[in-house]
Structure 1
């Protein structure tokens, strides 16, 4: 993996990202997961970028407090800057040896400040506090602080759980307010739908007259969701498609630059680096850009700056190839082997009543074995699939052919007859697909490391009006790297 547009530290993985944008530079703090056993304590690290293509690692930002500290593990939080230009970080502290009233590892909100542009942080243990009455002591994390100018207060949203109620529905976004960023007073919950186990990594922001509430949940699904409202205090409306990506993309939080807003999450790894391995916590930093629809809902795709780096066209089909199989299957496989990192930009004119069509990645020359990104107009979705699928034994029926796609790797998308665009960026074992510049699906590609690109149709007709495969070109490799400032001032 060349890390263009993505980031993973050597011998470690990216957990939850805490993004902060200042003076045009993105400062991306993240939970640095080493997967060492025994555990060594979770620190925050920082990377910076001004173009979201190249990232510069800055090392440890907020170290583990040590084995006897309440913040042995430095978990997710947020950053703000006050009127004096002082940066404040609020974060979760957890030590598995410190137990709360419920007998589980205690979680606390902790505070630190920086007066040198976020290069160093001074901890303020006297400002620490745990769950307020009515909430479980082991779930009090991910503080998100923002300024409510209308009310003249700072607000803190906290991932919490009620002490009573059905165990799977106690999740709540608790709320505290402050006038000085030092003492906090509990107030009514910010959002209390009694809907999920927990609402991790919450954030709220205003954008062009709309308010957005974003959080990640892991009870009904493992994904990042959002709600919209015309008012900070709701009511919050559920968009028709309320997820940012699929199962593999988690804990996404955002930062704006100008009128552009970017979401920073991680693409999960799989155990054993295999397609059938269980999803793991943490992975590779990946960026999605959000754009607004007129009704306030959002569409998502990778930043255009990343797509622009794939400027070496290595294969193309622009003659308008027709794939027709009214009651069968047809495909077209490009003769060139795709490199390890590549981009596909395809446009399909889908005929009415077509069951499926899409792209094959890392396919054999006959197209029989491949990863597949399948558009299903009748079901209104994009799914990720592969063949061969998992084999559980030597008999004919011991192949999971009854699993119609990779579980949890599906995205709802409207696919009426007509032209639709499917863009795919592959970098090593990473894959990010986008339909119509609006719906994204991220995943991993482990088992198949090479092969061809192709297009296919099943039970219908599609015209492949354009299909271009590009690699990172020499022009991108030679482009000057703009120095990124190590620190900025407010």
Structure 2
């Protein structure tokens, strides 16, 4: 570590002096929805909404429900308006997660502090045998004991809902009274019963309890469906369960310590559910992911949080932008996140990508950047506004090297925001500060580069969210306000590496 510190320090001092202009504030680049860019021909290009926020403010926990050709993504609307009630359900509709229609609030929170649902929590929607849509949601009231309960509402169109308070379900004595939330309801053909999974606690450990019903009104406790198998006592938030191409998948998010979305695989609905070799899709920049499928495609839908004070150097806040990954199924049933081709199709306008600055030992050839392994090396490009897609293939890298992407560089051309492939730690890491040797990574995932000859990278940047896909095996989502409207580049720290065929698209 001391050697790497010295390399970075010496490398910074050796970087060619290039004027970068005054540093922009986050506020100057946050509002990018209406921005435009120009392609090679100088034509104006409209922007794309890739990671939708809410017409109500921001997006919290998502609850996707596929019905008749449309994904109806209910979500907790993070209005941040200071009112006593909070987190009503909003609704975003999409057919393929490349374009969206936001209907705004469809189920509001209670009207008084005496209501169990003065705050709404996560739940799910199902179409019942009666032809109506049934929403089951968490009613939360910090003034109550118990604080949480599962509540019921019905609708004929998913936009106008009638609450049925008499159907409210509370935890029994065998479950935690104040941790009883995130109901997920599904129908089991074999026994003709509706099943409900609920995130709760039993014997001081996070569990997913199961309840059954034949009428969606009264529920019987069917015991623990799944118990925390991660060696912690964490709650298992936002569970979802579905079948896809011959396998059953259970997804949940650990509330602590890592705050990652996990999944398990089984051959039948009753399990046993096993842990795949790679049981996550993304880092802690992606949370509360719920799975949904139309039979052909499988998605996991979650959110990327804003930062406190809307400042890149701060910690994550709750709620932000909706993020969706298309999942690819391997022969063994394992799942991996990939760039949605429908989203990639939006980026049809290629932009000019020529380095504006680089270190002396950097070589450039036909769109490729190569570093010689001489301390700190970088190549920087002009700022890109609005939504854009970066693609490159990383080759000829040292297996224990450190290299990656930098954004919003300082006067020494070192990024204040850095996504790093770290061969020494076998991780992909995100640092929201320039001194990566003295800071703790804000986000990371285990990712061994030693077994790969190349890293195929696709990176989406939109509305302050950066989502990188690597080798169709891992997604890496971070919040970087200054990834838009500031310069960016690629770099290596004392390692040989080649960024081949760097391209950018609008």
TM-score (norm 1): 0.85
After TM superposition, the structure 1 = structure 2 runs for residues 251-270 of structure 1, keeping only pairs within 5 Å, are 251-270=288-307
2:393·2:502 contact (CA, 8 Å) conserved in 1?
Answer: yes
CA distance in 2, matches of 1:16, 1:428: 18
2:313·2:432 contact (CA, 8 Å) conserved in 1?
Answer: no
Does the alignment pair 1:16 with 2:66? no
The equivalent residue for 2:150 is: 109
The equivalent residue for 1:99 is: 145
Change (3 A) 1:283 1:337: closer
Shift of 1:57: 1.6
SS, match of residue 228 in structure 2:
coil
1:40-59: CA deviation from partner (whole Å, max 9, x where unpaired): 33311111122322211212
Does the alignment pair 1:373 with 2:419? yes
SS, match of residue 212 in structure 1:
strand
Change (3 A) 1:401 1:378: closer
SS, match of residue 343 in structure 2:
helix
The equivalent residue for 1:35 is: 80
1:172-224: CA deviation from partner (whole Å, max 9, x where unpaired): 10111112212111012001236432111111111112111101112221121
Does the alignment pair 1:63 with 2:103? no
Match of 1:305 among 333, 342, 359: 342
Change (3 A) 1:341 1:365: farther
CA distance in 2, matches of 1:157, 1:414: 38
User: Which blocks of at least 5 consecutive residues in structure 2 are unaligned?
Assistant: 1-31, 34-47, 355-364
Shift of 1:81: 1.0
1:106-163: CA deviation from partner (whole Å, max 9, x where unpaired): 211111111x22122222222111002211111111111111222332111001112x
Change (3 A) 1:54 1:431: same
Does the alignment pair 1:73 with 2:119? yes
Does the alignment pair 1:151 with 2:191? yes
SS, match of residue 476 in structure 2:
strand
Change (3 A) 1:451 1:38: closer
Deviant stretches of 4+, over 6 Å: none
1:323·1:331 contact (CA, 8 Å) conserved in 2?
Answer: no
2:457·2:470 contact (CA, 8 Å) conserved in 1?
Answer: yes
Does the alignment pair 1:416 with 2:451? yes
Shift of 1:350: 2.9
Shift of 1:246: 1.2
The equivalent residue for 2:37 is: none
Change (3 A) 1:288 1:417: closer
CA distance in 1, matches of 2:482, 2:260: 24
CA distance in 2, matches of 1:209, 1:418: 32
1:323-362: CA deviation from partner (whole Å, max 9, x where unpaired): 243452332333x332243211010113454512222334
Higher relative contact order (CA 8 A, sep 6+): 2
CA distance in 2, matches of 1:298, 1:417: 19
After TM superposition, the structure 1 = structure 2 runs for residues 426-437 of structure 1, keeping only pairs within 5 Å, are 426-437=461-472
The equivalent residue for 1:47 is: 92
The equivalent residue for 2:9 is: none
Shift of 1:449: 4.5
After TM superposition, the structure 1 = structure 2 runs for residues 73-472 of structure 1, keeping only pairs within 5 Å, are 73-100=119-146, 106-114=147-155, 116-162=156-202, 164-165=203-204, 170-193=205-228, 195-316=232-353, 319=366, 321=368, 323-326=370-373, 328-334=375-381, 336-363=382-409, 367-389=413-435, 401-403=437-439, 406-447=441-482, 449-471=484-506
Question: Pairwise CA RMSD of aligned residues?
Answer: 2.3
Change (3 A) 1:451 1:24: same
CA distance in 1, matches of 2:177, 2:234: 15
CA distance in 1, matches of 2:65, 2:448: 31
Shift of 1:421: 0.8
1:364·1:451 contact (CA, 8 Å) conserved in 2?
Answer: no
1:370·1:386 contact (CA, 8 Å) conserved in 2?
Answer: yes
Equivalences, count: 448
2:253·2:259 contact (CA, 8 Å) conserved in 1?
Answer: yes
1:92·1:143 contact (CA, 8 Å) conserved in 2?
Answer: yes
SS, match of residue 274 in structure 2:
coil
Shift of 1:71: 1.4
CA distance in 1, matches of 2:87, 2:457: 38
Q: Which has the higher strand share?
A: 1
CA distance in 2, matches of 1:109, 1:425: 37
- Stretch moving more, 14-23 or 360-369: 360-369
Shift of 1:275: 1.6
1:426·1:432 contact (CA, 8 Å) conserved in 2?
Answer: yes
- Stretch moving more, 10-19 or 357-366: 357-366
CA distance in 2, matches of 1:277, 1:387: 10
Change (3 A) 1:172 1:383: same
